[in-house]
Amino acid sequence: MAIQSIRLFGDPVLRTPAAPVVDFDKELRKLVKDLTDTMMDAPGAGLAAPQIGVGLRVFTYYVDDQLGHLINPDLDLSADLDEEGEEGCLSFPGLSFPTPRAIRAVAKGLDMHGEPVTLEGTDLMARCFQHETDHLDGILFIDRMDSAQRKLAMKAIREAEWSGLTPPAVKFSPHATGGKAL
């Protein structure tokens, strides 16, 4: 097990677009393992490399008992949205908010060996693909909310006990999210 500290909102790494993976080597396989171990420990439904301080386009997911990873993802989204679905994020421990997302997503990318992969997801899986791919672009779920919802979210974030802490001083294990956080 190689559980890493999860970076919290406020850490600049979460706002930095990640670079495409070019080397499908032992280091990459270790990164996928670290992401998987850290996601499962949290527990979370997804985790992107920038959330453990690594600026590469890699995420892991664990939704509906399906565990996997995707590298250099490219998404194709349905036009129909789930406006009301609650979404959490391991970088915002203990908080979740209604966040609009496409109901279906097709995610194309590569596996850790550089082989092409196509994943199809609906509902939480589709939400996870969108949330994690956003992380790779430096986009956070608060950016996807309408302004009224974002205002409520920012108030809750400011009041959260972890708010303003400078990672990686504290390691969080936000069990309260019920495994829904991403």
Nearer CB in complex with Zn ion: 114/168 = 168
Q: How far is CA 178 from CA 34, 78, 81, in A?
A: 21, 27, 23
Measured over the CA atoms of residue 14, residue 136, residue 47 and residue 175, the dihedral's sign is: positive
* Residue whose C-beta lies closest to Zn ion: 89
Nearer CB in complex with Zn ion: 56/89 = 89
179 CB-near residues (< 8 Å, 6+ apart): 43, 44, 45
Q: How far is the CB of 134 from Zn ion (least distance, A)?
A: 8
Find out whether 52 and 15 touch, Cβ atoms under 8 Å.
no
Query: Could you say which of 27, 83, 132, 159 is catalytic?
Result: 132
Q: How far is the CB of 99 from Zn ion (least distance, A)?
A: 11
Nearer CB in complex with Zn ion: 114/163 = 163
Nearer CB in complex with Zn ion: 37/114 = 37
- The residues that touch Zn ion, with contacts defined as CB under 5 A, are 89, 182
Q: Binding residue per annotation — 113?
A: no
Asked, as a colleague might, if the bond just before 43 is cis with ω within 30 of 0, I would say yes
Q: Which residues, in sequence order, are bridge partners of residue 119?
A: 107
Q: How far is CA 45 from CA 92, 132, 148, 154, in A?
A: 14, 10, 26, 22
Q: Binding residue per annotation — 89?
A: yes
Strands laid side by side in the 58-63 sheet: 46-48, 58-63, 66-77, 104-110, 116-122
Q: Binding residue per annotation — 135?
A: yes
Maximum alpha-carbon separation in the chain: 45
**Is 87 labeled as catalytic in the residue annotation?**
no
Positions marked active-site: 132
Annotated binding site for Fe cation, which residues? 89, 131, 135
